[in-house]
Amino acid sequence: MSKSNINSVIAVVSVRDQETAIEWYKRLFGRDADIVPVEGVAEWQLAENAWLQVTADPERAGGTTAIIGVNDIDIQCSACAAANVSHGEVVEYPEVIKMIEVIDPDGNKIAFVQDISSTS
């Protein structure tokens, strides 16, 4: 598959209680959803062509892992603390990545990952 044909990514996070999830993700991202295209769906644009969609789907809730790239893991840790969102310890794979994970109310994992491969 040619890279040039891919132009965007949407991570879909299934949740049981849409209202609770939206409030949690609003805290995590520090803002309301960018769009609510239909009832039961809320979307945050995280980068130019990268979106996270929170959708009401109780049967699939809790099984998602979304990985979000960040420029600085320490800034993300501070942002999580300011939003009162608990995160795990910073895990470092030397000369590869630093990462933290947060868990939403349904058990979905959101991993924030900083690429450190070019900093060594």
Q: How sure is the predictor about 4, in pLDDT bands with cuts at 50, 70 and 90?
A: confident
How do residues 48-78 score in pLDDT, each as one tens digit?
Answer: 999 999 999 999 999 999 999 999 999 999 9
Q: Taking the domains of the chain in order of start, what are their residue ranges?
A: 3-115
pLDDT for 62 equals 96
Q: How many helices (H) and strands (E) does the chain have?
A: 2, 7
How do residues 10-44 score in pLDDT, each as one tens digit?
Answer: 999 999 999 999 999 999 999 999 999 999 999 99
pLDDT for 7 equals 83
* Rounded Cα distance, 39 and 52, in Å: 16
- Write down the pTM of the prediction: 0.90
Pick the CATH number of 3-115 from 3.40.1410.10, 3.30.750.24, 3.30.70.260, 3.10.180.10: 3.10.180.10
pLDDT for 80 equals 96
Give the Å distances, CA to CA, from 16 to 26, 32, 86: 16, 19, 20
β pairing state of 9-15 and 50-56: parallel
